[in-house]
Amino acid sequence: MNPRFHIGQKVVALKTFRATNGKTGIVKGQVYPVLDLRSSKCRCREWEVYVGVDEYGFMQCVNCGFTSREPEYQWWFSESHFAPIDELDEKLQNIFDEALSEIEQGELIAI
């Protein structure tokens, strides 16, 4: 099966994942660039994306619970946690950007 995304594409996160230290992760509604793709190491045989989030150590597949050590600092996420931004119109992108800047200014609480 081919990946849903291609390298260089912009995707929006559908879920929030935070590292245990709270410093890194992905935030629902935020747009990320697909920097790399790989086939998952677990039996799910999914595609995973790297969007520039780095976190040492340990990864767990949310579907099957498979865990693996990641010697490189890249945090890989299942492609199912993202939607392609290309299919959204520019208006929607602007709404995301506005919401993000409001979150950054502390006017909204991220969900």
Binding site for Zn ion (CB under 5 A): 42, 44, 61, 63-64, 66
| Helix ranges (DSSP H) in the chain | 90-104
Strands 36-39 and 47-54: antiparallel
Q: How far is the CB of 42 from Zn ion (least distance, A)?
A: 3
Smaller CB separation from Zn ion, 30 or 78: 78
Smaller CB separation from Zn ion, 48 or 55: 48
Smaller CB separation from Zn ion, 30 or 68: 68
Closest CA to 55 of 88, 25, 92: 25
